[in-house]
Structure 1
Amino acid sequence: MERCGFKVNSTVPFVLLIVTLQCPLSPFPLGGMSKVKSSEGRVDVGGQSLFYRQFQPAEGAASLAVLLLHGIRFSSETWLELNTLERLAEAGYRAVAIDLPGLGNSKEAKAPAQVGESAPGSFLKQVSEGLQLGPAVVISPSLSGMYSLPFLFQHNDLVKAYIPVAPICTEKFTAEQYSSIKTPALIVYGDQDTQLGEVSFNNLKNLSNHKVVVLQGAGHPCYLDKPGEWHSAVLQFLQSL
């Protein structure tokens, strides 16, 4: 066996130790220095505690905040495992994913409305203020539409851009209300999501400033089925803001 230019007899362990110590050590961890830093915490919303995960650039200020919500069978861990949080931070964004009330690590928190009903827009306003997000991009799949849509309409100044992914509750707002929103939007859904995907699109298409991405071969949680295409679409949209 040969290491660092020296021949080592593997039958003499103390010789291997001495030779190894003579090898130059890298000044950085394996894989190089991390480009992102991550943390976990809790934010108070109306006297209740919500869990969140956060990824941001390791150095320098983030160019924009991105708030990631989730569907009823998912949580902030979904965005962690999919590497969406890391991808966003690597691109220079502050990515914050929360666990909605009653789900994930926020199970003890009570939702401000029944599933399928619109939550008060003030709910995400408190989240935004508690996390000091400022005007943020909101990524909102499925269930989270009951939170994000009222927030979009009632506190539009806090929404830099909107990325709905087949959200619920789109039928609760009129075409005129949608057309009054000037916020840039990226409507994403899977072509196999022939129920909520198509229903939500038929309402969201009335947004006055929107783009559409249909992920081919993807179902309702289309970001899970086509993660590469999902990340590319989101990052390209963010770069256009």
Structure 2
Amino acid sequence: MICSTIIFCMLLARSLLIKAPVEDVNLLNKILSNSITTDAVNIIVKNATVVLEDKTILYYLEAKSPNKVKYRGNLLYLHGAAYSSHDWNRNKPSIMQISAAAGYRTIAIDLPGFSYSRTKSLISNDHSTFMSLVIKKLNIHKPIIISPSASGSYSIPYVLNNPNKIGGFVPIAPCCVRSDGWENFTVPTLIIYGSQDRASISAQLLKIPTGNLVIIPDAPHAAYIKKPIDFVTVLIHFLYSIHPF
């Protein structure tokens, strides 16, 4: 039953992707180039802390692309409720290292109250404003926002309120999906789920005219943890569709 549901959703998504910017939506058939994986191992991921305008003490990781690699854009990684920025820097090469080796300034943050991020005052419930403060403070121009699970409560209000300020959106089995606004959302979007995820695929996200749905085989809710190479390969080729050679 689960298999048939997944196949139906994939077919439905493909029927909705006629206007998608990715010519080959079967991103699972792609591979990473040897140059990316070779360069990635040597990329240094630094950590730092900054204080935002709302007094949030924000911890983050950052990796920059090698000088020899063409700079393509900026990535901002969020995290789910049981995770942190360091989950994007697991293994070697990590997802952060591979992202940087592919030509992207790569940043992963700890959301307020998680891991190393702390606050000196009460945090506003205005998560869209928080995202604006982060992007302004870290000087992230038109980021592509990668947002798993519970971080959807931060990313979704921001991307819907500020579509002209982002370069792309990658929701990974996100929560808190609003029911309105997606039909007119024209930002390049990659929607990712694991085939073993018990969460239902968001019917609202499937309304995005520039959306691409990828279901990673044999992967749970946190598909990027169980299948990091599959995940980052799909991600990089999606990014290259936005920023071609």
Please, what TM-score do these two structures have when normalized by structure 2?
0.76
Structure 1: runs of 5 or more not aligned: 1-30, 114-118
Contact 1:69 1:138 in 2 (8 A): yes
Deviation at 1:43, TM superposition (A): 2.8
Q: Quick one: structure 1 residues 33 and 43, their matched pair in 2 at CA, closer, same or farther if it must change by over 3 Å?
A: closer
Distance in 2 between residues matched to 1:238 and 1:92, nearest whole Å:
10
CA–CA distance in 2 between the matches of 1:57 and 1:68?
16
The one-letter code sitting in structure 2 at the alignment partner of 1:49 is I
Q: Which amino acid counterpart does residue 192 of structure 1 have in structure 2?
A: Q
2:85 to 55, 58, 76: 76
Match of 2:135 among 128, 140, 143: 128
CA distance in 2, matches of 1:191, 1:34: 29
Which residues in structure 2 correspond to 1:1-16 (within 5 Å)? none
Would you say how many aligned residue pairs link Structure 1 and Structure 2? 200
The answer to whether the Cα contact below 8 Å between 1:35 and 1:59 also exists between their aligned partners in 2 is no
Q: Residue 182 of structure 1 contacts residue 209 of structure 1 at CA under 8 Å; is this kept in 2?
A: yes
Alpha-carbon shift at residue 227 of structure 1 (Å): 1.3
Q: Which residue of 2 aligns with 1:222?
A: 223
The equivalent of 2:25 in structure 1 is none
Between the two structures, name the one with larger relative contact order (CA 8 Å, sep ≥ 6): 2
Task: Supply the AA of the counterpart residue of 1:132.
Answer: N
- Whether 1:53 and 2:61 are equivalent positions in the alignment is yes
Question: CA-to-partner distance for each residue in 1:20-69, whole Å, 9 max, x for gaps?
Answer: xxxxxxxxxxx999753432112332121100000012326732000000
- Summarize the Cα distance change of 1:70–1:215 in structure 2 as closer, same or farther, 3 Å threshold: same
Q: 2:112 aligns with which of 95, 101, 117?
A: 101
Structure 1 letter corresponding to 2:60: Y
Deviation at 1:107, TM superposition (A): 4.0
On the 8 A contact 1:51/1:98 being kept in 2, the answer is: yes
Deviates more, 1:40-49 or 1:99-108: 40-49
Secondary structure (helix, strand or coil) at the match of 1:67 reads: strand
Shift of 1:95: 0.4
Is contact 2:66–2:103 with CA below 8 Å preserved after alignment?
Answer: no
Measured in 2, the distance between the counterparts of 1:233 and 1:68 equals: 15
Distance 1:106 1:210, change over 3 A: same
The verdict on how the C-alpha distance between 1:47 and 1:226 changes in structure 2, with shifts beyond 3 A counting, is same
Which of 153, 160, 178 is residue 146 of structure 1 equivalent to?
Answer: 153
Cα root mean square deviation, aligned: 2.1
TM-score, normalisation: structure 1: 0.77
Q: Is the 8 A contact 1:56 1:62 kept in 2?
A: no
